[in-house]
Amino acid sequence: AMSGIQSDISEPIDDSKGGTLPWGKFQQNKKDTVIMYLPLPEGCSGRNVQVKITSKSLKAVIMGEERVAGDLCERVVADDSDWQLEDGHLVVTLQKQNEGWWDRVVAKDVPIDTSKFDDVPFVMGDMKEHELDSMRDMMGRMLGGAS
**Average pLDDT over every residue of 75-86:** 97
Residue 85 has pLDDT above 80, yes or no: yes
| pLDDT of the residue at 5 | 46
Question: Is the predicted pLDDT of residue 4 greater than 80, yes or no?
Answer: no
Instruction: Give me the pLDDT at residue 79, please.
Output: 97
Look over the chain and give the mean of its residue pLDDT values, rounded to a whole number: 87
Q: Does the pTM exceed 0.85?
A: no
What confidence category does residue 10 fall into, taking pLDDT thresholds of 50, 70 and 90?
Answer: low
Identify the three-state secondary structure at position 81: coil
Percent of all residues in the chain with a pLDDT value above 70, rounded to a whole number: 82
Q: Which of 9-18, 44-53, 105-114 has the lowest mean pLDDT?
A: 9-18
Examine the pLDDT at 8 and tell me if it is beyond 70: no
Distances (CA, A) of 145 to 131, 133, 137, 141: 19, 15, 10, 6
Please give the residue that has the higher pLDDT: either 123 or 50.
Answer: 50
Over 50: is that where the pLDDT of 89 sits? yes
Query: What was the pLDDT predicted at 119?
Result: 77
Nearest alpha-carbon partner for 75 in 51, 99, 56: 56
Mean pLDDT, residues 86-92: 96
Domains by residue range for the chain, with CATH: 3-142 (2.60.40.790)
Please report which residue ranges of the chain form alpha helices under DSSP H. Answer: 3-8, 129-142
Q: Tell me the three state secondary structure of residue 82.
A: strand
The β-bridge partners of 121 are none
pLDDT digits (tens, 9 = 90+) for 53-74: 999 999 999 999 999 999 999 9
